[in-house]
Amino acid sequence: EDKLSTVVKQMKPSGIRKFFDVAKQIEDVISLGVGEPDFDTPWHIREAGIYSIEQGHTHYTENAGLLELRKQICDYYKRRYDLEYQAETDCLVTIGGSEALDNCFRALLNPGDEVIVATPCFVSYEPTVHMAGGVVKYLPLQHQDEFKITPEGLKACITDKTKLLMINFPGNPTGGTMSKEDYTKLVPIIKEHEIIVISDEIYSELIYEGEHASLAHFPEIKDQVLIVNGFSKAFAMTGWRLGYLLGPSTILQAVIKIHQFAIMSAPTTAQYAAIEALKNGQKNVDAMRLAYKARRNLIVDGFNKMGLPTHLPKGAFYIFPDIRPTGLTSDEFCERLIKEQRVACVPGTAFGEAGTGFIRVSYASSLEEIKEALSRIATFVEPFN
């Protein structure tokens, strides 16, 4: 134990994992807790992976990933989001968005550099920033602002040590989105303070109203923005472990140095499957989006009817209900809900202090399961009203 590094000793277990150890011991649980699609990877994408193995594509690829895949990724970002990147210099294929995030922090942070993290947020940001020697400054997002970043909120976090801004829209755990207009107000601040933005756009395909916007859409700061994305959520490919990073070549080339020594190259089979996903998978994405939208409408309505105020998220596959009307804490609510009604959700506090009084409910489950879960939750909440 005393041989372990100080950073690792300080690392807390994930608030999600801790909770799922409890859930595993109870039978007949409906889990609205996990952050992954309930859909399996579309069959033609799986087949492309299988075929690549049959073809003997069982070797390393180029460090940055197959050029054909990088070209497909850049074409896709141009086609879907009207953003231009060069496959040869501005794109790195990684082991999930997770590796892309970790590499960015390691490539950019010196000890003591501050990273502004919009929160409640994905559980990996804080520990990976710490491992890279950075210091997290939380920017709390508010229910009444639909969990968007405001210019005032951003300004309040900036110090002379600020180096990075970590954002995630559409967001886990809130489902919050930022429109181009919302971003417009942040751009001059980011430019003035020369902040590098890491934009985790892993849920960019899961937007139910409006269009996906990115800070990279603003030419005056495009060179300050690194985009993290991947195949896990859009194409239901969590287990393939494939993601990517897009950004200015100066930073990308530094990140590739880390990737080359730590990883070599992302999994080859997954890269072939991903090429197929980008070439022929848009129809699958569109179908899954429609399914999620119907579930979202049902579940948001259900929670609001129970007297738990829930904003209608425009993206991702989570809702973030305010459970304070019950008088319970987030932890108490989730623990009692699973024990008394066998429904698993995650306490908002697992995503940072800003999640106090909220819970995260994932709707990446079938409509039938969601209906049954809603009825169980209503039974649980009833006595508090």
Q: Round to whole Å and give the CA distance between 136 and 112.
A: 9
Q: Round to whole Å and give the CA distance between 377 and 359.
A: 12
Measured at the CA of 75, the angle between CA 117 and CA 287, to 5 degrees, comes to 75
- Interface pick for ligand PLP out of 103, 119, 168, 284 (rule CB under 6 A): 168
Site string for ligand PLP, 1-40 (x = CB under 6 A): ----------------------------------x-----
Characterize 312-333 residue by residue with b for buried, 16 or more Cβ atoms within 10 angstroms of its Cβ, and e for exposed. ebbbbbbbbbbbeebebbbbeb
Closest approach of Cβ 313 to ligand PLP, in Å? 13
> What is the DSSP pairing of strand 114-119 with strand 30-31?
unpaired
Closest approach of Cβ 41 to ligand PLP, in Å? 13
Closest approach of Cβ 266 to ligand PLP, in Å? 11
- Interface pick for ligand PLP out of 33, 96, 302, 355 (rule CB under 6 A): 96
Tell me if 214 contacts ligand PLP by CB under 6 A. no
Q: Round to whole Å and give the CA distance between 150 and 176.
A: 13
Site string for ligand PLP, 97-136 (x = CB under 6 A): xx-----------------------x--------------
Nearer to ligand PLP, 119 or 168 (CB): 168
Q: Which bin fits 327, alpha (ψ -120 to 50), beta or left (φ > 0)?
A: left
Q: How far apart are the first and last CA of the chain?
A: 48
Tell me if 352 contacts ligand PLP by CB under 6 A. no
Q: Which of the ranges 17-25, 96-104, 112-120, 148-156 carries the binding residues for ligand PLP, by CB under 6 A?
A: 96-104
Between the alpha carbon of residue 103 and those of residues 41, 66, 150, 355, the distances in Å are: 26, 19, 28, 27
Nearer to ligand PLP, 238 or 341 (CB): 238
Closest approach of Cβ 315 to ligand PLP, in Å? 11
Tell me if 243 contacts ligand PLP by CB under 6 A. yes
Q: Round to whole Å and give the CA distance between 343 and 111.
A: 42
Tell me if 64 contacts ligand PLP by CB under 6 A. no
Residues that bind ligand PLP (CB under 6 A): 35, 96-98, 122, 168, 172, 200, 202, 230, 232, 238, 243
